Amino acid sequence: MKRGIIVTPPFDHKEVEDGFHSIKTGGGFDPSKLREYLFYWDQINIIQHPAITIDCGPEVESLLKENIVSYAKNANVRSFSKHDLGPYYIQTQADTYQYLNTNDDSTLWSIAQPYGELILPEGYYKQAPVTQIELVNLLPFPSEEVHLDDILEFKLKRYSELIAIRHAMEDFYLEIINSNDIPLSKTRAIEKIETTVKDINRVIDEKKMKKFFSSVKVSLDSIDKIDAAQLFTAGAVMGAKIHLFDTSLAEGMLDLAAPFLTIGQKLLARPNHVSPEHKDFAYLYNAIRDFR
Sorted by where each begins, the domain ranges of the chain are 2-123, 127-291
Q: What is the mean predicted confidence (pLDDT) over 104-115?
A: 88
φ, ψ of residue 239 to 5 degrees: the values are: 85, 0
Helix axes 58-65 and 31-40, enclosed angle (nearest 10) = 30
Length of the chain: 292
Query: Do 221 and 274 meet the contact criterion of CB atoms below 8 Å apart?
Result: yes
pTM for the model stands at 0.83
- As a whole-number percent, the residues of the chain with pLDDT over 90 amount to 22
Nearest in space to 150 (alpha carbons), one of 210, 79, 225 = 210
Residue 239: the pLDDT is: 46
Of the given ranges (11-20, 96-105, 145-154, 214-223), which has the lowest mean pLDDT? 11-20
Q: Output the average pLDDT for the chain.
A: 76
Rounded distance, CA 127 to CA 138, Å?
28
CA–CA distance, 96 with 43 (Å, rounded to integer): 13
Q: Phi/psi of residue 222, each to 5°?
A: -65, 150
**Mean pLDDT over residues 24-52, rounded?**
83
Report the alpha-carbon distance of residue 272 to residue 156 in Å, rounded. 34
> CA-to-CA distance for 222 and 117, rounded, in angstroms?
16
Alpha carbon distance 141, 165 (integer Å): 13
**Max intra-chain CA distance, the chain:** 56
Q: What is the mean pLDDT of residues 72-91?
A: 69
Q: What are phi and psi of 104, to 5 degrees?
A: -105, 100
Q: What is the pLDDT of residues 148-193, one digit of tens each?
A: 999 999 999 999 988 888 888 777 666 665 666 666 777 777 788 8
